[in-house]
Every structure is written in structure tokens, then in C-alpha cells.
Amino acid sequence: MCQLIRFRVSHRAAFAEALSRIPGELWVTAHDDRARGGEPGTLWATLAALDVMRERGIALEPIESLEAELIPVFYGPGATVHAKLMAADLRCCTLAAGAVGAIRAGEGRVDDVTRATGLRAEDLLAWQPPFSPPYVWLLIRRREDALPAASRLFPGNAAARQWAERFGVSGLPALLSRAQPGIPAKLVPEPA
């Protein structure tokens, strides 16, 4: 079980500078919070990324946590193993963008996928995990959008249809209602 953590930073520029000093191979990302209405200085990150930030002495205040698996994503055929291993980060990006799920819409640049699919650029998310091509995802904002998206992007694909039919969360308010204050105690490592 992976947790997504919403947190606050008091000095955004200092936070960005400290984050930039973390080696890229550690894949530590933080995403501006657009899910909760954009409270200034709030971001989302995976618990693993947050742990690295805290180990590096970056000042932050955890606000709430949410199970990453509550945010369904559908890769479709051909996605890399590396991308699938980074599912928690994709879910974090999806949530931070104010969506409740995502389905792969293509590869390349957002404007290329927009031209190829007719989807609106504001409904798409660019995400490139390590050792993978740049993927573009259609953000799902309501349960009822999942089946039309799966049918459009993966016509005749039984796995895509099943994913959409099992889509669990109805919308952003329902998803965010499952968040817990802070970080659950069982997930906070004991000090050495």
C-alpha cells in the first residue's frame, strides 16, 4: 500500500532549490495541489518521495494522506515495466491535477496526442517515468467518464472496458473524503 501525502511548505523558493539538489536518479517529485482548490504552498508527493525530502532536511508539514490505489490508472498494451513500477507517482500527478483516474492516451507530446485523438489539451497529463517514452494520459474526473474514455482510446479492448466498469470512485469530493489527517502512524518509521 502506497500513500500519497499532501503537504505544505512555507518558503516555496527554498523548497524548489532544496528539491533541485536531490539527484535525479532518486526520482523525487512533488506536484502542485490543484485537487483541494490550490491552497498556496501545498503539494502532493508519494510517501517514498516525502521520506527522501525529510532525510535531506527539507522543511515541510504533512497535512493529509490518501491511499494511492484508490486512483485507478489504465496503461493499456505496450507500456514499459518501468512505467508500471512508477504507478504511485502517476497516481500522485493525477490527483494533484484534480482528477480521480487516468488512462493512457498516447506517447509523445501533448499537442501531438491532441491532434491524433481530438482530446482537449487541458484534459491531458504529460508524464515520463525513467527508462520510458513520454506518455500522455487522459485525466478522468468523474466515474461516468471512464467507460467512454476506454471505448475511445482502446476500442474493443476487454481489459480497458473492465477497468472502466470497475472504476471505483465517483468524483474528486468522494475521493478526497477518504483522506486521513497527517500520515498514519503505522507508516511513520521509528527513529533510529
**Run means of pLDDT, 10 residues per run, the chain, 192 residues:** 93 93 89 88 95 94 97 95 93 98 98 98 95 96 98 98 96 97 72 50
In the prediction, which pLDDT does 180 show? 96
Would you list the DSSP string of 1-53? --EEEEEE-S-HHHHHHHHHTS-GGG----EE--SSS--TTEEEEEHHHHHHH
Q: Cell for 67?
A: 491511499
pLDDT for 130: 85
Domain chopping of the chain, boundaries: 3-68, 70-175
Distance set, CA 140 to CA 15, 18, 188 (Å): 30, 32, 31
- Rounded to two decimals, what is the model's pTM? 0.93
> In angstroms, rounded to a whole number, what is the distance separating the alpha carbons of residues 182 and 118?
40
Whole-number pLDDT of residue 190: 52
- Largest separation between any pair of C-alpha atoms in the chain: 53
pLDDT of amino acid 96: 97
Distant-in-sequence contacts of 144-152, Cβ < 8 A, 24+ apart: 146/72, 146/101, 146/103, 149/103, 150/74, 150/103, 152/117
pLDDT at residue 37, as a whole number = 81
Q: How far from the centroid of its chain's Cα atoms is residue 5's Cα?
A: 11
Burial class for 192, CB neighbours closer than 10 Å (0-12, 13-18, 19+): exposed
Write out the three cell numbers for 100: 480521480
- At residue 184, the pLDDT reads 81
pLDDT at 38: 66
CATH 3.30.70 fits 3-68, yes or no: yes
